[in-house]
Amino acid sequence: MRLTFREKEILAVLKKEPLISQDELANRFGITRSSVAVHISNLMKKGVILGKGYVFTEQVSIVVVGKSFLRIDITEAENIIINAQYGGFALETSRAFADLGVNIKIITIIGNDELGTDVLSELQAKDIDISNVYRHPQKRSCRRVYVNGRVKYEEGFSTGDYEKTINAREWVVFNCNWLVIEPGFQENLIKKAMSKNEEKLPYFCSHRFLTFPEEIPEYLFKYFVVILGVKDPQDVEFYVKEVADRINDNQNFIITDGNTKVVYFNNRTATDFPLLPNQCFDSKSNLSFLLAGIIYGLSYGYPIRQVIRMGVGTASSN
């Protein structure tokens, strides 16, 4: 699913020299011609280039809107274990797209501190567009503390901070092809979009983890791509029935427990995709990765079976 370092190197050369031969590529990188052929074949399978002559697929415009923070995980066992990493929907989803070789824009907030600088450096290293990241001049970057997997403490930005940030970047939000939205912003952004019914809107995409028998929010049925994560296989069947009764034409709903199967709805038709043991993933924490893989496949027009394989591959490898 991801572009390897060598694939990225070869792709960079092909974009500059589309008529270069495989023999020349092999000499330039010090590898065999057969190795070059394998790398190019993989680039074709991943949708980056199309057929002979190295015709490149047109990059779609994807914008990710969400929170970013320093995640501090504390595990209370015989010995207390503390881990820290940069996380949050905006960072995790952007990383997933970048690993798939997609150029994206990210809208989030960081603080005017060392942590904020580190986050920007990491994003830039992955070639993620940070021009719409807002650096708050008076607050430090968000911290979130989890104890045994549950949020216990959070220091961060207010709802008002995010509303101002998104409003200031409204042109970017509503003038992309695919808009990928953190669950906490789903309702407000779709309401804002409905007031712009005369304009061409992007494909709205998001995910949500549901705890049975929680009802699917009505506003999600205005989204183009929705991934619903649940805990148990019987929960999948419950929500399949609910989606079947409420889904609109041309919507893409995906329901999964991350262990047994993925159910894909399109044009009111449901298709089951069983999960193999090596394809399992956490149906709550890995939904953003599944979403990135699904959007990647759909944006490049892959067949549904391959779209699901891309999404599951991204989710199970993170």
Walk along the chain (318 residues) in steps of 10 and give the mean pLDDT of each run.
74 80 90 91 74 60 96 91 95 94 93 96 93 95 94 94 96 92 97 79 96 96 97 96 93 97 93 96 96 94 92 94
Phi and psi for 24 in degrees, rounded to 5? -65, -40
Q: Is the distance from CB of 229 to CB of 217 less than 8 angstroms? A: no
The predicted pLDDT at position 199 comes to: 61
In a domain, 187, yes or no: no
Residues 226 and 283 in one domain: yes
Which domain covers residue 66, as residue numbers? Answer: 58-174
Tokens found for residue 166? 């998104």
Per-residue pLDDT at 185: 97
One domain, residues 27 and 66: no
Farthest CA pair distance, the chain: 61
Separation CA 105–CA 135 (nearest Å): 15
**pLDDT at residue 59, rounded to an integer:** 58
Same domain, 48 and 85: no
Residues 165, 197: Cα–Cα separation, whole Å: 22
d(CA 183, CA 46): 28
CA distance 244 to 248: 9
Q: Number of structural domains, the chain?
A: 3
Structure tokens at 79: 């010995």
Structure tokens at 30: 């010090």
Q: What residues have CB less than 8 Å from 55, skipping those under 6 apart? A: 49
Compute φ and ψ for 248, nearest 5 degrees.
Answer: -100, 165
Q: What is the pLDDT of residue 201?
A: 87
3-state secondary structure of 142: coil
pLDDT digits (tens, 9 = 90+) for 32-74: 999 999 998 888 776 677 665 666 655 568 999 999 999 999 9
**Residue 1: predicted pLDDT:** 44
Beta partners for residue 135, in sequence order: 110
Taking the CB of residue 222, how many other CB atoms lie within 10 A of it? 17
Note the pLDDT of residue 196.
79
Which of 56, 78, 95 terminates a domain? The answer is: 56
CB 238 within 8 A of CB 210: no
**What SS3 state is found at 134?**
strand
71 and 25 share a domain?
Answer: no
Examine the domain organization and report whether 217 and 300 are in the same domain. yes
CA angle 110, 115, 121 (to 5 degrees): 85
Residue 182 lies in a domain: no
- Residue with the two structure tokens 């994003």: 123
- What is the C-alpha to C-alpha distance for residues 58 and 67, in angstroms, rounded to an integer? 28
Do 144 and 41 lie in one domain? The reply is: no
Distance, CA of 140 to CA of 89 (rounded, Å): 18
Tens digits of residue pLDDT in 227-276: 999 999 999 999 999 999 999 888 999 999 999 999 999 888 999 999 99
Please enumerate in sequence order all residues whose Cβ is within 8 A of that of 209, keeping only pairs 6 or more positions apart, or say none: 228, 229, 230, 283, 284, 287
Q: Are 179 and 149 a contacting pair, CB within 8 Å?
A: no
Q: Are residues 137 and 222 in the same domain?
A: no
241 with 308, same domain? yes
